[in-house]
Amino acid sequence: AVSRRHLVATSCDALPASASFISLCYCPEAYLILADGSTIRSSEGGQQGDPLMPLLFSLAQHSVVEKVVATYPSVVIRLYLDDVYLSGSAEAVLAATTLFEANLGKCFVAAHEGCNLSRFPKEFSRHTISETSGFTALSVPIGGDEFCRKAFAEKVDEAISAVERVAKYPCCHGALLLLRHCANATRLTYWLGALPPHITADGCRRFDDAMRTAFLKISGLDNSEANCLQATLPSRRGGFGLRRA
């Protein structure tokens, strides 16, 4: 969480042209109206659903990031809104955490086997990084190759399950639309961009095979390489737009 007063002040300083609008939105106290007509005063942090909030929140915590960088230059800091990741020696990272007000129950520390983590608060969950273990950051597995392959395989299994359910849809036209727009390779795009190819190659082949099987079942076409290749072309080139992983 971030103080609303600090949020407004830093945002107005960084965006002077928008200062009046930001003040209009956040300086008066707001009230959230519940279904039963009761109200809750909203006077701290940002407003849920505000499209500006990611930017304003990032500006509000920028001063803390600068302080960490200046005070602990050996610590590498990466942030995505309120997800903060610090990496470096155990001593430096532990010291840098004192600059943040965090929910200790949501914090974790990850290190290779043999690293002494006893000085970290007991509320921190602990993860060991090895070939078969690791942790996830923003849903992306980080660890040894075996750990990452297993995590990606689980995502592929979920995507294949969706493809198989679509193939059973009783309306062929509807099934083809669902296959193209809802169950295609874009379900895996996030992980394909975050993991190296040698981790994702086997999973991609499994997903593409499942897509091919589903398409042939729905369309009733024969299992020829030409038909399957044409299905992956965009519609402007006579294909169906089924993207391969």
Instruction: Report pLDDT digits (tens) over 97-133.
Output: 888 877 778 888 888 877 888 888 888 888 888 878 8
Where does the chain show beta strands of DSSP type E? Answer: 30-33, 39-42, 76-80, 83-87, 108-112, 125-129, 134-137, 140-143
Rounded Cα distance, 57 and 62, in Å: 9
Q: How many residues does the chain have?
A: 245
pLDDT reading at 28 higher than 80: no
In this prediction, what percent of the chain has a pLDDT beyond 70? 100
Query: pTM of the full predicted structure?
Result: 0.74
Mean pLDDT over the full length of the chain: 86
**Cβ-defined contacts of 70-74 (< 8 Å, 24+):** 71/96, 71/99, 72/96
Residues 240 and 231: beta-carbon distance below 8 Å: yes
User: In terms of Cα–Cα distance, which of 65, 67, 47 is closest to 56?
Assistant: 47
Q: What is the pLDDT of residues 72-104, one digit of tens each?
A: 899 898 888 888 888 888 888 888 888 887 777
pLDDT reading at 240 higher than 90: no
Strand partners, 30: 42
pLDDT reading at 153 higher than 90: yes
Q: Is 203 helix (H, G, I), strand (E, B) or coil?
A: helix
Tokens linked to 31: 């009230």
Per-residue confidence at 160, pLDDT binned at 50, 70, 90?
very high
